[in-house]
């Protein structure tokens, strides 16, 4: 399993890739989130094999990800102030 850990403001992001994936996490943008404001993040990957899918295997309440594009949407509340662990599983569909 390939793991990349990034700490962004109030979010602690742990990105986990599936074992069979030939995928590199390039970036997650934006790098900050603000209480009571919409957060729209994008997981950017590079792959040599074709399409990938995205899944949040651990996330704060209300956070979603588009399975095909890697766009993350969330509105953090006061309960989310501090570190939040998010695990994004990226799977190469043509391993």
The average pLDDT across 43-48 equals 77
pTM attached to this predicted model: 0.74
2-12: b or e for each residue (b if 16 or more CB lie within 10 Å)?
eeeeeebebbe
The average pLDDT across 5-32 equals 54
Query: pLDDT band at 95, cuts 50/70/90?
Result: low
pLDDT cut 90: percent of the chain above it = 18
Q: Are the beta carbons of 17 and 49 closer than 8 angstroms?
A: no
**pLDDT (0 to 100) of residue 68:** 93
Query: pLDDT band at 22, cuts 50/70/90?
Result: low
Question: What average pLDDT is seen over the chain?
Answer: 74
């Amino acid at each position: 399993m390939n793991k990349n850990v990034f700490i962004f403001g109030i979010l602690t992001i742990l990105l986990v890739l599936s074992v069979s994936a030939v995928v590199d996490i390039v970036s997650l943008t934006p790098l900050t989130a603000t209480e009571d404001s919409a957060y729209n993040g994008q997981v950017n990957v590079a792959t040599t094999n074709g399409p990938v899918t995205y899944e949040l295997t651990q996330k704060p309440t209300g956070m979603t990800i588009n399975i095909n594009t890697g766009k993350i949407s969330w509105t953090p509340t006061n309960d989310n102030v501090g570190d939040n662990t998010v695990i994004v599983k990226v799977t190469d569909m043509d391993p």
